[in-house]
Amino acid sequence: MDNNNPDTPVIFVLFGGTGDLSRRLILPALFNLFLDKQLPAAFALLVVDHNEISMADLTEHYRQGVCDHSRSGNPAEAQWRNFAQFIHSTQLELDQKEGYASLAQQLHSLAESWPQAPQIIFYMATPPALFSVIGQGLGEAGLSSDHLRTRIVVEKPLGHDLESFRNINTILGRYFEEMQIFRIDHFLGKETVQNILAMRFANPIFEPVWNRRYIDHIAITVAETLGVEQRGGYYEGAGALRDMVQNHLMQLLCLVAMEPPVAYDANDIRNKKMDVMHALRPIPYDQVPQFAVRGQYTCGWLNGAQVPGYREEVHVAPHSGTETYAALKLFVDNWRWQDVPFYLRTGKRLAAEVSEISIRFRDVPHHAFPATAGLNAQPVRLVIQIQPEQGIVLKFMAKEPGATLRLRPVNMSFNYQEAFDMPSPAAYETLLNDVMQGDATLFMRADQVESAWQLLLPVIQAWGDNPAADFPNYAAGSWGPESAHDLIARDGRSWLTPTVGTPPPCHNDC
């Protein structure tokens, strides 16, 4: 729930301010909030880094980041100059007490002339190993003690497994209250993801059929054409399960499966998501292969270009066992969803860039049409398109024009761009604005993250104990490994081709 006045002064303290995340996502988002007049007049961005960097270099580094990554393109000279006045920087040894005392002093001086005490946001755009160090430094310097005016923002990955997540959380929890900790999952800031709740709960027509009686299964696909780019160092220790499933895909599952909230507020929504997490059927260690499969891409062709295999990427071990693809079959054991499978899949270097949730309805109970009419009969499917297409498509059967009775699948579509003649904010804009407003609705609560790790623990352990013998097992530009096909085919179902996507080109000479 909002607990801030939008005019309250804000100091945004950016740890790891010279890193890639800051340049690519945080600065463009702050700049767009500034352009949209969403930043308070009394605002300061205090960039903290262990390296010394001149203000001129820092502002140019950020301006370039905005040019390269902002949805509003190159900033106008005057606008950038006005924004750049907010930027301050400081060098700090993150593991030394004195640094935090001087940070406290700086925060005090920045706000000295402001009419009101500021909200102070500590944003951890650093490697996760530093979350605890910085949290402790801030806490011991007394910088977290004002529970209403200070917040800490942490990015995923929150830990490497259940135990490491608990360690981070215990340390943060020593100095910050849960209401002060904002755990970012940027998928929750996407318009199309937020729209899942609007679609389900602002319309009366979906709820009556949103259950095991009408739904056969749900498939969640987050497919990327990108490889690991320059992030091999991080990705080697993460893999698709930790990088995508533990957070983004679990959040999508919760939004689709949760019960209606009583109120659109942080606690109620997060409680309803937790109910889903509680109801997820545990995966027994000795049955992991029946519920989870993994893949790693080899070289292949994408959009007409040859791309290297994962093991040839920068900072990746030549015999790496890290998965770049993961697919899971999950069940939500409650009255609404008992025995309805939720199939989740995500991977890098797949045939198309597409994220969507496909809700496949049950077949009609009785086929009244003659067999000749329904040769192409397909069960009704509702597709929530998250990206790059943004919208909702209902695929259903219609009569083809003509004297002969023939049925054909057709689409009824809602598309964001067509329906609303206005630009969508980037996910980070929404999320940073919410942090400043103290609205935690779109952030992950500790218990949710913890239960996601708990659910995946047997898979992490089984995969760790049994290195994949068949890696690499899918070609870049394909739809993933054969085992993912088998995972769903064993249930007599199949992954349906996403609503956008180009078939993989037919080359095998890489």
In the complex with ligand BG6, which residue's Cβ is closer, 210 or 474? 474
- Which residue from 49, 224, 323, 429 is in contact with ligand BG6, where contact means CB under 6 A? 224
Closest distance between ligand BG6 and the C-beta of residue 314, in Å?
15
Q: What angle do CA 121, 122, 123 make, to 5 degrees?
A: 105
Nearer to ligand BG6, 224 or 323 (CB): 224
Between residues 243 and 323, which has the closer beta carbon with respect to ligand BG6? 243
Nearest 5°: the CA angle 350, 126, 423 is 55
User: Hey, what are 374's tokens?
Assistant: 């329904």
Which of 186, 217 has the CB closer to ligand BG6?
Answer: 186
The kind and range of the H/E element at 390 are: none
Question: Binding marks (x or -) toward ligand BG6, 52..91, rule CB under 6 A?
Answer: ----------------------------------------
Check binding of 450 to ligand BG6 (CB under 6 A): no
> 């500790």: which residue's tokens?
446
Phi and psi torsions of 429, nearest 5°: -65, -50
Q: Are strands 181-184 and 150-155 parallel, antiparallel or unpaired?
A: parallel
The distance of closest approach from Cβ of residue 186 to ligand BG6 in the complex, given in angstroms and rounded to an integer, is 6
Return the number of the residue (224 or 434) whose C-beta is nearest ligand BG6: 224
324 within 8 A of 228, measured Cβ to Cβ: yes
**What residues between 273 and 302 interact with ligand BG6 by CB under 6 A?**
none
Indicate the residue among 19 and 173 with the shorter CB distance to ligand BG6: 19
Of 456, 103, 486, whose CA–CA distance to 282 is shortest?
456
Residue 389 binds ligand BG6 (CB under 6 A): no
> Does the bond joining 472 to the residue before it have cis omega, within 30 degrees of 0?
yes
Smallest separation, CB 190 to ligand BG6 (Å):
7
| Count of positions on this chain that bind ligand BG6 (CB under 6 A) | 3
Q: How far is the CB of 385 from ligand BG6 (least distance, A)?
A: 13
Q: Quick one: which of 456, 436, 384 has its CA closest to 415?
A: 384
Q: How far apart are CA 326 and CA 248, in angstroms?
A: 13
Query: In degrees, to the nearest 5, what angle opens at C-alpha 269 toward C-alphas 2 and 353?
Result: 100
Structure tokens at 252: 């999508």
Q: Do 17 and 125 contact (CB within 8 A), yes or no?
A: yes
Q: Among residues 49 and 185, whose Cβ is nearest to ligand BG6? A: 185
Beta pairing partners, 183: 154, 444
- The CA R_g of the chain, rounded to the nearest whole Å, is 24
Query: For 194-200, which contacts have Cβ atoms below 8 Å and span 24 or more sequence positions?
Result: 194/430, 194/442, 195/384, 195/392, 196/252, 196/255, 196/256, 196/357, 196/384, 197/255, 197/261, 197/264, 197/269, 199/384, 199/392, 200/256, 200/260
Q: Looking at the DSSP assignment, which residues form a beta bridge with residue 381? A: 360, 395
Catalytic residue ranges: 248
Query: Cα–Cα distance between 141 and 48 in angstroms, integer?
Result: 16
Measure the CA–CA gap between 36 and 422, rounded to whole angstroms.
13
CB of 23 to ligand BG6, least distance (A): 16
CB of 238 to ligand BG6, least distance (A): 8
Round to whole Å and give the CA distance between 172 and 154. Answer: 10
243 contributes a contact to ligand BG6 by CB under 6 A: yes
Whole-number Å distance between alpha carbons of 60 and 51? 16
Using CA atoms, how far apart are residues 242 and 73, in angstroms rounded to an integer?
32
Residue whose C-beta lies closest to ligand BG6: 243
Closest separation in Å from C-beta 244 to ligand BG6: 6
Q: How far is the CB of 126 from ligand BG6 (least distance, A)?
A: 15
Q: Output the smallest distance, CB 356 to ligand BG6, in A.
A: 12
Residue 273 CA to residue 251 CA, distance in Å, equals 8
Query: Cα dist. 349→140, 357, 486 in Å?
Result: 45, 19, 20
Q: Toward ligand BG6, which CB reaches closer, 224 or 356?
A: 224
x/- letters, 162..201, toward ligand BG6 (CB under 6 A): ------------------------x---------------
Q: In whole angstroms, what is the distance from residue 244 CA to residue 178 CA?
A: 24
User: Which residues of this protein are in contact with ligand BG6, per CB under 6 A?
Assistant: 186, 224, 243
